[in-house]
Chain A
Amino acid sequence: MDNKKDIRLMKGNEAIAEAAIRCGVDGYFGYPITPQSEVMETLMLLKPWETTGMVVLQAESEIASINMVYGGAGCGKKVMTSSSSPGISLMQEGLTYLAGAELPCVVVNVVRGGPGLGTIQPAQSDYFQSVKGGGHGDYKLIVLAPASVQEMADFVELAFDLAFKYRNPALILSDGMIGQMMEKVELKPYRKRWTNEEIKQMHPWATMGKPAERERNIITSVELDPNAFERFNHKLQDKYRKMQEEEVRCEQFNCEDAEYLLVAYGSSARICQKAMELARAKGIKVGLLRPITLFPFPTREIQALLGHVKGILSVELSEGQMVEDVRLTVEGKVKVEHFGRVGGVVHSPEEVVEALERKIIGG
């Protein structure tokens, strides 16, 4: 059984739930919202509290969910929540507190079309909210963008690893397409949850009860001395710089000889793969760069391609958000334009090729 692969056909949201149980998550706190509801539905169906001891709780709201995560994270537990755009907006206060208290947790955003309550179809219009912090204060989330159901499963563990490594909340920025899509997934074997003793050893900051030999651990984001808080802010920025140095992940397709570059993440990257094939069949040398981490953004990787790339099209299911980071990266050296359908409408590969020809090659 051990060396047999566990392969299933499942939805992206279901993969999140399966992966959470298998990587030894201690608690999930959530509130239903389409197109994300299958995460908690699957957890409730699998009843992990009977097997691994993982807590699954439907909170009374998204605000309650993120504050339960705050509590669990303070105890050094692996805790997570998931929601879709309007619910993630409600969680922003909790997220900035978690970042301010330097606590690890994982949040999954299965993005739907906004602003407001919006639609329930896929969109990528929460890019700014995800990579620029989202709540108040100078903080960042580690943002991972899965482009397949397999990555939905794999990124749960990766997000927890990074969150605990940096003591910072990590966000899996998915969307209604990846969340609802059915694909083949290879699931990882079950890992045991950490025992309290292991947590005390690995995370000495966790509030697991005060022994006589040390001072009490305090989880807080408040500081009354501005000078001390400036030093704390510098410490956070050092952490973000280290992430930028060491944690960038991206995938490149046909970039070696590319004259034109598509930059796209998540479901848009899937569409751009087809668009790239269509354009190559027409004789246009197109490459695709897919950022896997949106913060830290693959700045160096894009800059390295500027020797032979003549123009870049940022393809997103938004009115142009990531394109700003691409422009900051490129520093005006080549033309950068944006293309994307919005509000829950998804672009076709043909539309992407047409936009590339119109905005970059012809423009």
Chain B
Amino acid sequence: MVDMVSCKGCSLCVEACPTQVIGLADEVNAKGYNYAYMVNPEACTGCSNCAMVCPDSCITVYRMKVAEPA
């Protein structure tokens, strides 16, 4: 999840993602920056590299609970 209000579009998360999940949006936020979003959410491994590099702590990573195999 990206806090698009405080994102300044610095692209550090785009570089840090090992599976090219993140891109910058065509739209801009209230400050005028092209904010980060998940272009390719299926490829996310939940590694949280993006959240760690984000200088403004805009990114929170959640992992979906998958049902235990029977």
Main secondary structure of the interface of A (DSSP, over half): loop
**Inter-chain contact B32/A182, CB cutoff 8 Å:** no
Q: How many A-B residue pairs have CB under 8 A?
A: 13
**Inter-chain contact B31/A182, CB cutoff 8 Å:** no
Could you tell me the distance between the alpha carbons of A34 and B31 in the complex, rounded to whole angstroms?
7
Range of interface residues on chain A? under 10
Give residues in B with beta carbon < 8 Å to A.
Answer: 8, 10, 31-33, 55-56
CB-contacts of A23-54 with B (<8 A)? 34-35, 37
Q: What 7 A-B pairs have minimum CB-CB distances, sorted nearest first?
A: A182-B55, A120-B32, A34-B31, A34-B32, A180-B8, A182-B56, A120-B33
For A182, the chain B residues whose CB sits under 8 A away are: 55-56
Could you tell me the distance between the alpha carbons of A180 and B12 in the complex, rounded to whole angstroms?
13
**Inter-chain contact A181/B55, CB cutoff 8 Å:** yes
Could you tell me the distance between the alpha carbons of A35 and B31 in the complex, rounded to whole angstroms?
8
Could you tell me the distance between the alpha carbons of A180 and B56 in the complex, rounded to whole angstroms?
10
Could you tell me the distance between the alpha carbons of A181 and B8 in the complex, rounded to whole angstroms?
10
**Inter-chain contact A37/B31, CB cutoff 8 Å:** yes
- Some 13 contacts from A to B, beta carbons below 8 A apart, are A34-B31, A34-B32, A34-B33, A35-B8, A37-B31, A120-B31, A120-B32, A120-B33, A180-B8, A180-B10, A181-B55, A182-B55, A182-B56
Could you tell me the distance between the alpha carbons of A37 and B32 in the complex, rounded to whole angstroms?
12
Could you tell me the distance between the alpha carbons of A341 and B34 in the complex, rounded to whole angstroms?
19
Which residue of A has the minimal Cβ distance to B28? Answer: A120
